[in-house]
Structure 1
Amino acid sequence: MTDRVLLITGASRGIGAATARLAARDGYRLALLSRHRDSLAPLVDEIGQDRALALAADVTDWDGLSAAIATAENHYGRLDAVFGNAGVMHPSTFLGGDSDDDSGDGDSGGGVPEKWRDMVLTNVYGAAITARAALPALTRTEGHLLLTGSVAGRGIRPGNLYSATKWAVTGLAGAIRAEAVGTGVRVTLIQPGLVDTELITAEQRAKPTLEPEDIGNAVLYALAQPARVDVNEIVVRPTGQDPER
């Protein structure tokens, strides 16, 4: 088998699932990772079990995550690209009480500090150990690592911890790219604006939004470039979104 292999975390819905469908149409074989294998069953059936492998792992669990990535490489014999897409979003306010945040990135409400730990672990630590687990396989194929950031990681959002986690992903992508010089591995940071997924509120859904497929197309664009081209960052906002948001 010679078709390129793409592993996607957070693959059961939203951007991850949309990217998987587009990649399958482009001929990729897929390793799809989510916390629960059952959540991936409809997508695997849609794509075809001969081209999609369902893997269960929590991206904050090093042992489970690294084992899943090793399983994918062993199953297909290679990994050509890994899209670290898993992420969560919870409201936050550091002053307490209600927040009137209108950032357009899914973070509004009164703040739930007990959920912040999961957000920081998933969005930052999870992205970091996804890279750490995948890069040995990617160096063997001179492959491609992609991470989902956000336009929220490009500007200040009052009281917004989600934004801070995406600032961290921006720095993480740059640090990995610098360390990977000379390996042939390329690193791309995908920075979406407001995307119509289950993470956003009804109020935000009334604003200009992207579809998950729009981000999937950005991922496929980066992957389609010749080996000499390293697309470092892609920023995709819906038409009409506040340029500062």
Structure 2
Amino acid sequence: MAKTLFITGASSGIGAATARAAAGSGWNVSLMARSEEKLTALASEIGDQALAVPGDATDLDAQSDAVAKTVEKFGALDAAFANAGKGLDKPGTVEGDPEEWHQMIHINIMAALFTARVAIPELKKTKGHILFTGSAAGRRHIKGSIYGATKWFIHGYAGNLAEEVREWGGRCTVIAPGMVDTPFFDEPRPDKLKPEDVADAAMLALDADPRNCIREVFLMPNN
């Protein structure tokens, strides 16, 4: 029976690349994002292995409903990837927009917590795996970076959660890329990492022997 992976922020960039990589390795994929049109197109591209569950990852009930639909369709949940996230248009502590901070914190932190909360009861049944999109910005201090601080939270929480889920045979991994050429940035970054590189890192962790918990994969552009 094929394994099943639930992904937030799945309509483009890292999420979409991971969905394609997982499906190519025989996984079923459940895809959540706010962009219903992009999500439906991706699910159609992948085929019967994919389920589109449009919704806002910052809504706990929406994530709970998405996981329920995933299990209903595919029978079980083997992994979840808390990937939804955003940056800031106006960085800086004094110059920044507090409302934008609020939105970013909700999607970068609360949405990830919600994924863990709704997925773990199902992952316990399969001794499953939860992944988070961290960042190189969550591994070093960057002057005034509030975005980086949200990723420090993700790195810390993922480490803490890894200790929790190992009690029942589960695994937890944070995928920490440097700059990736995705719609996250206003301008293309063709000399940086590609979403497929990050998807490869996620699959490395997922495909490791169950005795081996790869707790972090840190990848950087080699230029």
Equivalent positions of 1:124-203 (< 5 A) are 124-202=109-187
What is the rounded CA distance, in whole Å, between the counterparts of 1:122 and 1:57 in structure 2? 12
**Greater C-alpha Rg:** 1
What is the rounded CA distance, in whole Å, between the counterparts of 2:98 and 2:189 in structure 1? 24
**Contact kept? 1:92, 1:113, Cα under 8 Å:** no
Question: Is 2:38 aligned against 1:39?
Answer: yes
The structural deviation recorded for 1:68 is 0.9
The structural deviation recorded for 1:36 is 3.5
What is the rounded CA distance, in whole Å, between the counterparts of 1:112 and 1:33 in structure 2? 27
What is the rounded CA distance, in whole Å, between the counterparts of 1:117 and 1:95 in structure 2? 15
**Contact kept? 1:138, 1:144, Cα under 8 Å:** yes
Question: Is 2:213 aligned against 1:230?
Answer: yes
Residue 72 (structure 1) aligned to one of 64, 70, 73 = 70
Q: Which has the higher helix share?
A: 2
One-letter amino acid matched to 1:237: M
The equivalent of 1:205 in structure 2 is: 189
Under a length normalisation based on structure 1, what TM-score does the superposition of the two structures give? 0.87
The equivalent of 1:26 in structure 2 is: 25
Question: Which stretches of structure 1, 4 residues or more, deviate above 4 A after TM superposition?
Answer: none
What is the rounded CA distance, in whole Å, between the counterparts of 1:79 and 1:199 in structure 2? 28
Under a length normalisation based on structure 2, what TM-score does the superposition of the two structures give? 0.96
Q: Secondary structure at the match of 1:87?
A: coil
Aligned length in residues? 222
When structure 1 is superposed on structure 2, of 229-238 and 53-62 the one drifting more is 53-62
What is the rounded CA distance, in whole Å, between the counterparts of 1:64 and 1:26 in structure 2? 28
The equivalent of 2:49 in structure 1 is: 51
One-letter amino acid matched to 1:143: G
Structure 1: gaps of 5 or more residues: 97-110, 241-245
The percent identity for this pair of structures is 43
One-letter amino acid matched to 2:216: E
One-letter amino acid matched to 1:214: D
The structural deviation recorded for 1:205 is 2.2
What is the rounded CA distance, in whole Å, between the counterparts of 1:68 and 1:17 in structure 2? 17
Structure 2: gaps of 5 or more residues: none
**Contact kept? 1:10, 1:34, Cα under 8 Å:** yes
When structure 1 is superposed on structure 2, of 8-17 and 193-202 the one drifting more is 193-202
The structural deviation recorded for 1:181 is 2.4
What is the rounded CA distance, in whole Å, between the counterparts of 1:195 and 1:70 in structure 2? 31
Once the two structures are superposed, what CA deviation does each residue of 1:213-240 show, in whole Å capped at 9, x if it has no partner? 0000000111111110000000010102
Q: Secondary structure at the match of 1:67?
A: helix
**Contact kept? 1:8, 1:32, Cα under 8 Å:** yes
The equivalent of 2:15 in structure 1 is: 16
